[in-house]
Amino acid sequence: MAEDSTWDHWWWRPGWKLGKSFYTWHVTFDNDSPAAQLVETFAPTLSQIPTMDPVAREGLHITIQGIGFTDDATTADVQKISGAAATYLSRRGPFDALIGPPSVDKEAIGLPIANPEPFRDIRDDLQLAIADVWGVDQVPERGDRFNPHLSLAYSTGVASMTNLRGLLARNGLSGIEVVQPVAAVSLIALNRDNHRYEWREITKVPLGIP
């Protein structure tokens, strides 16, 4: 496949299969949030790209930290991790995320976070919470590179990334940025059976509240 080409985001990654769900921490958004307004802003352009599946408002998220597949983590352990996370995150405060401008990669069109440090701090806290329950050596994704972002569409096939960037520029979208308040992090059970991310919220932990 050409270096400049996208590919299908929905390939089955290791451990995933039909019916699998995954415990993970995400930042999610209300339907009237600044982040959610991006769905309407980008919709006319994304509708012109047959190899991109736009993300619905209810599917918008910023991935922070995974825990594990729901059939590998006990309910008791997940509750303990949530409790520890609440303690750590009570020491953080709400903040404004600077989202954008848009970027195109091999699997998505999205917006990177221009001020990633608060998200990295939250991820560090969540990894500490997992380590409190399972031990440091059992923390998933420990040491992985973490670049928080908000995806607006996922690739379903081959397209030129250069052409996609050009389309965004021609339609006046290449400089889009928004400010999104972040006040909580959600623990969810995530599923991807239907070529979209769907989830059940387990708990929402506020930032800065003991």
83-113 confidence digits (pLDDT tens) = 999 999 999 999 999 999 999 999 999 999 9
- Listed in order, strand segments (DSSP E) in 1-132 are 21-28, 52-54, 61-69, 95-99, 103-104, 108-112
31-79 confidence digits (pLDDT tens) = 999 999 999 999 999 999 999 999 999 999 999 999 999 999 999 999 9
pLDDT for the residue numbered 3: 84
Looking at the predicted structure, is the pLDDT value of residue 2 above 80? no
- The count of residues in the chain is 210
pTM of the predicted model over 0.75: yes
pLDDT for the residue numbered 210: 80
110-132 confidence digits (pLDDT tens) = 999 999 999 999 999 999 999 99
Looking at the predicted structure, is the pLDDT value of residue 179 above 70? yes
Q: How far apart are CA 62 and CA 27, in angstroms?
A: 5
pLDDT for the residue numbered 130: 98
180-210 confidence digits (pLDDT tens) = 999 999 999 999 999 999 999 999 999 998 8
For residue 210, count other CB atoms closer than 10 A to its CB.
8
CB 99 within 8 A of CB 35: yes
Residue that has been written with the tokens 């922070």 in this structure: 64
11-34 confidence digits (pLDDT tens) = 999 999 999 999 999 999 999 999
pLDDT for the residue numbered 1: 54
